[in-house]
Amino acid sequence: MRLVAFSDYRTQSLDELKIFIKALEPRPDIILYAGDDIERFGYPRKRLHYSLLRYKMLHGCNSNFCFGRDRFHFFEPNTFFFSLKSAKNEYNEKSTRIKIAKEILKAKNKLIEFNDSINLGIEDLDQPGIDIERLLRIIPDEEEGIDEECLASFIRHVSSAYRNEIGKLNLEEIATFLNEKSELYLEKNEKYIYGYIYLYPKPNIFKDLSIFSNKGVCGVLGNDDELSFKEILEGEKVFNVHEQPLIQRGISIIGLQGASAEIKPVGRIGYSQDEIRDHLESMWSKLIDNEKNIILLSHTPPFGILDFSRRFGERNIGSKALRDFLEDRNILIAICGHSHNNGGKVEDFEDVKVINVASHDSFFDPANIAVIDITNNGKIKITWNKIPSNFELLIKNQKIKEEDKRERLRDIGFYNSDVDALFEGINHSGGVFVNEVHKLNKIKFDFGFSWRHLVEFYKIGVRREEDITDEIINHVSNVVRPGLSKNILNRAYLKLKASLNGRITHRGDLSPLFYPKKVYFDTEYLDVCVLYGFLVDNKLTQFVIEEESDMIKLIKELIKEDYKFYFYGGSDRKILINTLKKFNTISNIREIKNQFINVYHLISVHVGLLIDNYSLINILEYLYPEREKTRWTFDKFSGESILPYYLDGFDKIYLMNDAIKAIKKGIPIDEIETLNFLKKANKTDLEMLKLVTDRLEKLAKTI
């Protein structure tokens, strides 16, 4: 028995996958897919149909013809919905295509009729710089059900296909395009024929792959798939084994879709451990007694087995119920994915061979494909294969010039400095670098080094995160430009050390944390500062825009008593100094600046934390793991409860704008509700900053 298994096939080439499987000798008996990114393999047509019904219920459509896109769900850019009024109870696809073509032609001709009022001739409509979509949007719309922007997109497809000017397109061309370049999904009721038009319809890749196997393709959905994607796992020789086991002579396959719901973020499909346990027992009950070769195909790994992940924090993300099931049942092989970090690995658990076939999902990552051969006496041989990464396919394509390759990388989103660094690596080590660059990308993804750093690492022999030492960092620090690049280098290295050591670490001077006389301050500002907040010796003092003179008195007293001002990034220091300048309060700006301590800078440059987002609230929750992981909604010092702290920048902008208007109107400060809410948010920020600084000070003395 020969199996081919893979999972989490998010970015790699589908064509290369087909070539690989087609070339296998002997050909596989069964192909197994362990979930996620199912939509890459086909269209979920029923899902689109249900979305259309929802659209119609929400908006209605009284026109003879409706045309547009579904605005409420994910849609393919080449997918359009339509509805036609029809008094007949029967219809066929051919006549419907002709009716749609006639309606599209009618709508297109409105543009021609309108050309006089916009002072454009038909021949001008295809000229560079003419915004066809804008023109279509301003056509008098008698047919209110037509989305002119979508209609413009469709017309452009037809025009391009027949190399004909938009104004000259005729009924035959539109009808032929609908017949040859599209696929229709049709439904009807007593009033309408309605459905979807799919341009250049994509085949079901699972069905294509099944041709290269003896018995077909088995799959399950992943946690990031939608439940409606299960339609893609339907058809001849394509089996959704989460819904029904595949029982063949000599082998049975049961499936488990999704992931553990308690592991956040769960994505779209998640189940409690009880639900997973019940599902697996239900699957088991459908098997033939005494079946020996039982394969379990699961998106999630069992807990503690090939499931340790880093993407959303270092932790195990597997299912405990699945682990218990493997202990209790006679399973030969458990094939899983989900934990990209463990893709391409095998681990024995009890008598079960657990195989994680996930792949990382970046531009640089090859795909893991396991070829599993099972002998008649139950021996298992696993051969790992790689589908080349998109980066490798691009760089090794000799038909593309280097400058064009560079341009494609820039188009994808790489900075010029990234592109230069990558080609420096290629010029240094050639194809070896191309084959190994995914290892560097994993280090980049996990810890945040730049490509310049990684290429410098590579040139001196670094291939693994464990190879990066203080000496390596010092060497690279002397090579790269000073400033931001060195700060990024330090932060990434500290995060790496924290990961390797299993604890928070630091590098550099943290002595500012030990200063005994601290005042924490935070400002809320737009073009002007609306609110200043100070926390001194656990006492909160706040000043609004018209109370700046009182605030300056406080600052002068604090400076005189030799306090230092602690803030968390942003423009808080600049705003406070500009206010002092405005009132001619300071004579030595440099001396005053030395009184300020940027806690964000201290953390980002000198402290290693295993988090990606250095927002104040994320750092607070990371530093206080003993507390429940919820947004902090308490007042530590007075015990007073406050509103939940979910404010983002846009919320604050609204609050500040409203507060400024109210102050200008002369409304008493205490009666401005938005200002009072802003004060609570400002107070929470200050309390979080103190808690973070307190914990870092304590940790700095022990690490």
Q: In terms of domains, do 59 and 194 share one? A: yes
CA 308/CA 306 separation, integer angstroms: 6
Confidence of residue 648 (pLDDT cuts 50, 70, 90): low
pLDDT of residue 67: 82
Q: In terms of domains, do 242 and 308 share one? A: yes
- Please tell me which residue, 194 or 686, carries the higher pLDDT value: 686
pLDDT of residue 120: 42
pLDDT of residue 62: 60
Q: Would you call 197 helix, strand, or coil by DSSP?
A: strand
pLDDT in tens, 376-403: 888 999 999 999 999 999 999 999 999 9
Q: In terms of domains, do 83 and 185 share one? A: yes
pLDDT of residue 346: 97
126 has a pLDDT exceeding 60: no
Backbone torsions φ then ψ of 141, nearest 5 degrees = -105, 90
pLDDT in tens, 502-549: 778 887 788 899 999 999 999 988 878 889 999 999 999 999 988 888
pLDDT of residue 48: 54
Q: In terms of domains, do 172 and 267 share one? A: no
pLDDT in tens, 237-257: 999 999 999 998 878 999 999
Domain of 325, CATH number, reads 3.60.21.10
* Residue tagged 């439940």 (tokens): 227
Backbone torsions φ then ψ of 356, nearest 5 degrees = -95, 115
* Two tokens, residue 523: 């400002």
DSSP state of 177: H
**Smallest Cα–Cα separation from 257: which of 478, 446, 38?**
38
DSSP state of 527: S
- Please tell me which residue, 131 or 659, carries the higher pLDDT value: 659
Q: In terms of domains, do 237 and 331 share one? A: yes
- Please tell me which residue, 470 or 633, carries the higher pLDDT value: 470
- Which of 177, 199, 221 is where one domain is finished? 199
pLDDT in tens, 181-232: 888 877 777 777 877 788 877 789 999 999 999 999 999 999 998 888 898 9
Domain that holds residue 118: 45-199
pLDDT of residue 122: 38
Alpha-carbon distance values, 155 to 126, 165, 169, 220, 647 (Å): 12, 10, 9, 38, 44
Neighbours of 83 (CB within 10 A): 24
CA 329/CA 669 separation, integer angstroms: 69
Q: CA angle 568-569-572, nearest 5°?
A: 85
pLDDT in tens, 18-33: 999 999 999 999 999 9
Lateral strand order in the sheet of 518-525:
539-544, 529-536, 518-525, 564-567, 596-598
559 is a domain residue:
yes
Does the predicted TM-score (pTM) go above 0.85?
A: no
Q: In terms of domains, do 353 and 424 share one? A: no
Q: CA angle 515-518-521, nearest 5°?
A: 140
Which residues share a beta bridge with 645? none
Which residues share a beta bridge with 428? none
Q: In terms of domains, do 185 and 79 share one? A: yes
**DSSP string of 414-431, one letter each residue:** --HHHHHHHHHHHHHHTH
- Which of 357, 382, 407 is where one domain is finished? 382
**Helix axes of 484-501 and 431-447: crossing angle, nearest 10 degrees:** 80
Q: Mean pLDDT across the chain, nearest whole number? A: 83
499 is a domain residue:
no
Q: In terms of domains, do 445 and 345 share one? A: no
pLDDT of residue 125: 40
pLDDT in tens, 139-167: 334 445 677 777 788 888 888 888 877 77
Q: Where are the alpha helices (DSSP H) in 181-226?
A: 205-210
Confidence of residue 619 (pLDDT cuts 50, 70, 90): confident
**Smallest Cα–Cα separation from 646: which of 603, 597, 681?**
681
Overall domain count for the chain: 4
Q: In terms of domains, do 408 and 319 share one? A: no
Show Cβ contacts of residue 429 under 8 Å, excluding neighbours closer than 6 positions.
Answer: 458
Confidence of residue 72 (pLDDT cuts 50, 70, 90): very low
**Smallest Cα–Cα separation from 541: which of 679, 692, 689?**
679
642 is a domain residue:
yes
pLDDT in tens, 475-499: 999 988 777 788 889 889 988 988 8
**Smallest Cα–Cα separation from 700: which of 525, 414, 508, 431?**
508
504 is a domain residue:
no
**Smallest Cα–Cα separation from 577: which of 594, 562, 592, 560?**
592
Q: Would you call 50 helix, strand, or coil by DSSP?
A: helix
Domain of 638, CATH number, reads 3.30.420
